[in-house]
């Protein structure tokens, strides 16, 4: 759905540009007091001070919305989630509370493998209904674009099922947000391929990637590059082939162990490297040099009781940092945007302005969408968030509390009843 909408009396705050903001640029927000935003057929056609005659509050064919001085930001982009899956893992969470680690549970046959088992038992409709509920919650928190990964099938049929669920949600005329799909066939080694990781990668390269390209089921290809999951060499082989076949590259990199995932992302010119809790100084330097977006997921570090990624150091080194939730059934069963912002500011050392850029323009860049979303500028989609205050500084201050009053997707208003 696309609408014509004029928002007036808004305190507009937005990063500017059609590419990721790096280093110092991340704190540059353009502010317009008492501003007007005009959206025509879903696209921004004017941003600036009020135009003459606007006080009358009428233009044929447009809805009008008085922001009453509240702060308006670009819609949030959650550029790393796993929102299509079956089952749940609360018992595993309890085991972790008693001291078992995420990786030891995974190595003993639990973790991702248990969600794979549950997802393989689901039908298309079951997966879709549940995924749609997550999307509705995201809208209430201001998310207007979300990335979603496969990786809970690890066989042809179920990987395609997850991707088709996302495609069908994204094709829905009534959808409230846009979905960018990522193929994560290398999320874990499926049981059937135990001891045959290289054969599994061959299968993905020869069969899965071409099929997914042909059916346009995913734009990006990701890999869980981690000690005991997929090695640097295996990740390089898969991603190099994926790039040749036209995929955009992403990596789960240096999450638990400093393996050189950040360096690999730089070498392959991946669009983003994600997690990065253990990224080395050299890895950070190379990501900055190669313009790899460093996507940080503070909710996961929080839920796993791990130390946070070094967001401040990354920005100081000139990186473009994006923030995302990592919503998934295992390491982080939360899609909370407010808590993501609070943790990023409190524990990763981001300023509020940097956190806003990280969740908007840099998130868009991590999805190859910076030309069409991520800032409030003429020509971009009319995807916006209206806060319940004139100040954006409330974002990390309201710890874990949603302060989004209205989410706007291509000119359509979704009003929260707090």
Can you tell me which of 38, 254, 326, 354 binds ligand NIG, judged by CB under 6 A? 326
The Cα–Cα gap between 337 and 143 comes to 8
The Cα–Cα gap between 144 and 180 comes to 11
Q: In the chain, helix, strand, coil percent, each to 5?
A: 35, 20, 40
252 binds ligand NIG (CB under 6 A): yes
The β-bridge relationship of strands 76-78 and 5-14 is unpaired
Footprint of ligand NIG on residues 329-348 (CB under 6 A)?
329-332
300 binds ligand NIG (CB under 6 A): yes
SS3 label, residue 306: coil
Closest CA to 146 of 355, 343, 327: 327
Helices (H), 187-260: 197-203, 209-214, 232-244
CB of 93 to ligand NIG, least distance (A): 10
Distances (CA, A) of 225 to 76, 252, 262, 416: 27, 6, 10, 39
114 binds ligand NIG (CB under 6 A): no
224 binds ligand NIG (CB under 6 A): yes
Selection from ligand NIG, Fe ion, none that 276 binds (CB < 5 to 8 A by kind) is: none
178-217 mask for ligand NIG (x: CB under 6 A)? ----------------------------------------
CB of 274 to ligand NIG, least distance (A): 7
Interface region with ligand NIG, contact rule CB under 6 A, candidates 5-13, 131-139, 169-177, 325-333: 325-333
The β-bridge relationship of strands 71-74 and 5-14 is parallel
Contact status, residue 218 vs residue 247, Cβ threshold 8 Å: yes
Beta carbons within 8 Å of 258's beta carbon, 6+ residues apart: 278, 279, 280, 283
SS3 label, residue 407: strand
295 binds ligand NIG (CB under 6 A): no
322-341 mask for Fe ion (x: CB under 5 A)? ----x---------------
Residue number with CB closer to ligand NIG (5 or 323):
323
CB of 52 to Fe ion, least distance (A): 50
The Cα–Cα gap between 178 and 139 comes to 11
CB of 115 to ligand NIG, least distance (A): 5
302 binds ligand NIG (CB under 6 A): no
What residue ranges bind Fe ion (CB under 5 A)? 326
What residue ranges bind ligand NIG (CB under 6 A)? 82, 111-112, 115, 224, 252, 255, 300, 326, 328-332
């Amino acid at each position: 759905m696309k609408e014509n909408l004029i928002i007036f009396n808004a305190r507009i705050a937005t990063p500017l540009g059609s590419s990721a903001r790096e280093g110092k640029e991340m704190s540059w927000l353009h502010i317009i007091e008492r501003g007007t935003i005009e959206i025509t057929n879903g696209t921004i056609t004017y941003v600036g001070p009020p135009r003459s005659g606007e006080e009358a509050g009428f233009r044929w064919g447009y809805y009008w919305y008085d922001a009453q001085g509240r702060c308006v930001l670009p819609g949030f982009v959650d550029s790393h989630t796993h929102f299509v899956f079956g089952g749940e893992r609360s018992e595993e969470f309890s085991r972790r509370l008693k001291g078992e680690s995420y990786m030891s549970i995974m190595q003993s046959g639990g973790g991702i493998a248990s969600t794979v088992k549950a997802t393989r038992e689901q039908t298309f409709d079951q997966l879709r209904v549940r995924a749609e509920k997550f999307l509705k919650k995201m809208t209430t928190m201001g998310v207007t674009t979300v990335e979603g990964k496969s990786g809970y099938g690890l066989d042809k049929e179920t990987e395609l099922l997850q991707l088709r669920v996302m495609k069908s949600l994204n094709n829905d005329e009534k959808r409230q947000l846009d979905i960018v799909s990522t193929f994560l066939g290398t999320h874990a080694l499926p049981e059937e391929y135990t001891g045959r990781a290289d054969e599994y990668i061959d299968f993905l390269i020869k069969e899965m990637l071409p099929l997914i390209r042909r059916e346009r089921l995913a734009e990006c290809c990701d890999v869980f590059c981690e000690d005991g999951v997929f090695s640097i060499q295996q990740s390089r082989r898969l991603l190099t082939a994926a790039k040749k076949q036209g995929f955009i590259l992403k990596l789960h990199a240096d999450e638990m162990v400093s393996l050189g995932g950040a360096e690999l992302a730089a070498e392959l010119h991946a669009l983003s490297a994600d997690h990065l809790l253990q990224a080395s100084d050299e890895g950070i330097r190379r990501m900055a040099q190669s313009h790899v977006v460093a996507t940080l997921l503070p909710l996961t570090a929080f839920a796993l009781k791990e130390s946070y990624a070094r967001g401040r150091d990354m920005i100081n080194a000139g990186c473009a940092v994006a923030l995302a939730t990592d919503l998934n059934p295992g390491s982080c069963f939360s899609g909370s945007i407010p808590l993501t912002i609070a943790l990023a500011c409190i524990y990763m050392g981001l300023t509020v302005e940097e956190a806003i850029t990280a969740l908007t323009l840099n998130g868009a860049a991590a999805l190859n969408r910076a030309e069409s979303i991520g800032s409030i500028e003429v020509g971009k989609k009319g995807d916006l968030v209206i806060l319940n205050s004139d100040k954006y500084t409330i974002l990390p201050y309201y710890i874990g509390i949603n302060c989004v009053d209205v989410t706007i997707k291509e000119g359509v208003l979704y009003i929260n009843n707090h």
